[in-house]
Chains A and B, each alone.
Chain A
Amino acid sequence: MNKIRRVLHLWGLYARMDALWITRDLKMFLSWSISDTLVNVGGLFAMLLLAQRFAGIGSWSKVQVLFLLSYSAICGGLIEVFFGFNIANISRRVGRGQLDHVLIQPQPLWMSLLTEGFCPFSGSVVMAPGIFLMAWALPRLGIHLSAAWYGALLLNMVASTAITLSFQYLWGSIAFWAPRAAEEINSSTSRLLGELRQYPLDGLAPALTAGLRGVLPVGFLGWAPSRALLGLDSRPLSLLITPVAAVGFGLIAVSIFQKGLIHYGRTGSQRYLSFGHRG
């Protein structure tokens, strides 16, 4: 209970700091939020236009595609809101030797990593278009939206976010062993997930679908949970597939990251790049 209170307290601190950061210069704030909104809305447009032109994609209706888009956009937004400032792009912090900033804090590492990237104002620009789309799509889906359904939606979103984070940490851990070469690896993995997560993957060969739910788990970031939530996947417990996968990916990521941390403790960082506290 104390730990939860502490996490909430720290989120409050970082929310205040985020508000201060974003409002330190009105011109910068406006230009930054407008350009970021345009980029994020633009990212959704390709799929939106395809769905509009063909009245859906494959077996997915136009509204269902919109739901898939909104789901993946919100999950991307959750990463931005809770794990901004290079907490999700951990390879940058590790590769730049900036993990030392976290290690000298008198609290568990997980608590620093869980709270330090919280930026509800600057990060919400990514999530806002997703929420907008979902609010538009939900009443048009023609499914019964019970409290249990909303609970399943929330659970799956948290699971998809956890899988994204795990994937980032799995690849980002390479920076423990190759700081210079792998410093920017999370930019690539993040871009890869961002570009692929909004596509319906039906009709692909089983091996490819399995790959997109394993080696490259984009299937869990939009397609698989959306199918389950929209009733397109009739298998029992389909709503639990993404949460179970999240546990699996999470465990692997934690184990690899811990190995990296042990290596970091042994070798330290000979390469410190000063890009400020949040790196």
Chain B
Amino acid sequence: MAAPDPSGISHSDIAVDLNCVSKTFRQRQRSEKLGDILKNLVRPVFREVAALRDIDLKIARGEIVAYAGPNGAGKSTTVKIASGMLAPDSGTVRVLGMDPVRQREIYMRRIGVVFGQRTELWMDHTVAASYEWKRVVWEIPQDRFERMVGFVHEMLGLGEFYKTLVRELSLGQRMRADLGMALLHEPEILFLDEPSLGLDVLAKRSMLDYITGLNRDRKVTVMVTSHDMAELEQLAGRIVMIHHGEIAFDGDFARLRREFVDRRVLLLDTDSPLAPNLPGATLISTEGHRHEYAFDAGETGVGDLLAVAAQQTQLLDVETHRAPIDDIIADIYVRWQKAGNRREVSESPHGNSPTDRP
């Protein structure tokens, strides 16, 4: 019997275990002044950027976790560390019970990695030739390979371009082929870094279906990063948000809405072109007799707003819905940015202040 973990996941059930992982990069500072250029040649000036600060993250086997955050938050760094392409400065990384860097060769047989900005396919060969290359290099037994090629063919619909040069594929086709290639050796865990980058709506929807299908049918653990929050919400039950290299939120999307802001939209059709004055709600627009408001359901009840509106005008129709998750995340990022700016102002040049968490 495996020992229980404080997170509630037993050790044998943990697929990814990052413990106090930190990573700092050094950025060389440059100046255009002639004097500084000469000085920098002798004594270059560096700025330290903390990409990850004491990250603790556990992902259970069979789970899909969305990993999100603004640009430069540390998402790709985390994926690179978890997939063994980068070593952390401190802390421990165990994925499927292995150290990704020290046990790289065995480890790579058990994981799959897809980066939206790059391809593991051979650009000047067909998809079929790339898959054959994978079979030989990963030493996939022929019968298993054929079974998996059949599976990815069916799942991703590769038939139409399987024998086309990768260079000639559309981005959507290339991403499908890349995902298929990552699956050929039947990885237990998939790291997907921006897998839908640049895809159109249909291709994106297909990609989401493939990933959820994989997780549902084959119990593949998935860690996925994206900027598209609606996409992540469809895909994952759990979202981990990273900001300034720290985990700022770890929970489900419903909790995210509750904890940050449960932004709703209220649409009122009235008998008057004048919009009622509703305390606790912000008027967004008025078109004819239709008035749109935004409000935080955590602070103001929709019943209260309707009662106030009814006192001022006659209500003909009422509509209310949740704001898109992207809007909520944008609010959170703005809030973090403001908090970050305040922190930067209050920080002394040499000291570190505690991280602001929203």
A: residues with CB less than 8 A from B are 9-10, 13, 17, 20-21, 24, 100-101, 103-108, 265-268, 270, 272, 274-278
Q: Are the C-beta atoms of B105 and A107 separated by less than 8 Å?
A: yes
> Given A17-B133, A20-B129, A265-B87, A274–B117 Cβ distance below 8 Å?
yes
Q: Are the C-beta atoms of A104 and B108 separated by less than 8 Å?
A: yes
Q: Are the C-beta atoms of B84 and A103 separated by less than 8 Å?
A: yes
Q: Are the C-beta atoms of B118 and A272 separated by less than 8 Å?
A: yes
A153 to chain B, nearest CB (A): 33
Contact residues in A for B109 (Cβ distance below 8 Å): 106
* Bound form: Cα–Cα A108–B104 in Å: 9
Q: Are the C-beta atoms of B106 and A277 separated by less than 8 Å?
A: no
Q: Are the C-beta atoms of B165 and A105 separated by less than 8 Å?
A: no
Q: Are the C-beta atoms of A20 and B136 separated by less than 8 Å?
A: no
Contact residues in B for A266 (Cβ distance below 8 Å): 86-87, 89
Contact residues in B for A24 (Cβ distance below 8 Å): 124, 165
* Bound form: Cα–Cα A20–B85 in Å: 30
Partner of A278, one of B83, B106, B122: B122
Q: Which 4 residue pairs across A and B have the least CB separation, nearest first?
A: A276-B123, A106-B108, A268-B86, A277-B122
Q: Are the C-beta atoms of A106 and B138 separated by less than 8 Å?
A: yes
Contact residues in B for A275 (Cβ distance below 8 Å): 123
The interface on chain B, measured as residues whose beta carbon lies within 8 A of the other chain's beta carbons, has a size of 38
In the complex, the chain A residue whose C-beta lies closest to that of B89 is A266
> Given A107-B105, A268-B80, A274-B117, A13–B87 Cβ distance below 8 Å?
no
15 contacts between A and B (CB under 8 A): A9-B136, A13-B136, A17-B125, A17-B129, A17-B133, A100-B85, A103-B84, A104-B84, A104-B108, A265-B86, A272-B118, A274-B118, A276-B124, A277-B123, A277-B130
Partner of B85, one of A17, A106, A268: A268
Q: Does chain A have a CB within 8 A of B201?
A: no
Partner of A10, one of B83, B130, B137: B137
Q: Are the C-beta atoms of A20 and B125 separated by less than 8 Å?
A: yes
- Please count the residue pairs between chain A and chain B whose beta carbons lie under 8 angstroms apart in the complex: 79
Q: Are the C-beta atoms of B122 and A265 separated by less than 8 Å?
A: no
Q: Are the C-beta atoms of B124 and A106 separated by less than 8 Å?
A: no
Q: Are the C-beta atoms of A13 and B133 separated by less than 8 Å?
A: yes
Contact residues in A for B85 (Cβ distance below 8 Å): 100, 103-104, 268
Contact residues in B for A105 (Cβ distance below 8 Å): 108, 137-138
Q: Are the C-beta atoms of B129 and A101 separated by less than 8 Å?
A: no
Contact code string B122-161 (vs A, CB < 8 Å = 1, else 0): 1111000110110011110000000000000000000000
In the complex, the chain A residue whose C-beta lies closest to that of B51 is A268
* Bound form: Cα–Cα A20–B167 in Å: 15
Q: Are the C-beta atoms of B136 and A21 separated by less than 8 Å?
A: no
B65 to chain A, nearest CB (A): 21
Q: Does chain A have a CB within 8 A of B101?
A: yes
> Given A21-B125, A274-B119, A277-B120, A107–B84 Cβ distance below 8 Å?
no
In the complex, the chain B residue whose C-beta lies closest to that of A103 is B85
In the complex, the chain B residue whose C-beta lies closest to that of A275 is B123
Q: Are the C-beta atoms of B167 and A276 separated by less than 8 Å?
A: yes
Q: Are the C-beta atoms of A265 and B137 separated by less than 8 Å?
A: no
Given contacts A106-B106, A276-B166, 5 further A-B contacts (CB under 8 A): A13-B132, A17-B125, A21-B125, A267-B86, A276-B122
* Bound form: Cα–Cα A104–B79 in Å: 13
Contact residues in B for A101 (Cβ distance below 8 Å): 120
Contact residues in B for A272 (Cβ distance below 8 Å): 117-118
* Bound form: Cα–Cα A268–B87 in Å: 8
* Bound form: Cα–Cα A13–B101 in Å: 27
In the complex, the chain B residue whose C-beta lies closest to that of A274 is B118
In the complex, the chain B residue whose C-beta lies closest to that of A278 is B122
B51 to chain A, nearest CB (A): 10
Q: Are the C-beta atoms of B25 and A265 separated by less than 8 Å?
A: no
Q: Does chain A have a CB within 8 A of B241?
A: no
Q: Does chain A have a CB within 8 A of B121?
A: yes
* Bound form: Cα–Cα A276–B132 in Å: 17
Q: Does chain A have a CB within 8 A of B240?
A: no
Contact residues in A for B86 (Cβ distance below 8 Å): 265-268
In the complex, the chain A residue whose C-beta lies closest to that of B77 is A268
* Bound form: Cα–Cα A277–B131 in Å: 13
Q: Does chain A have a CB within 8 A of B113?
A: yes
A261 to chain B, nearest CB (A): 11
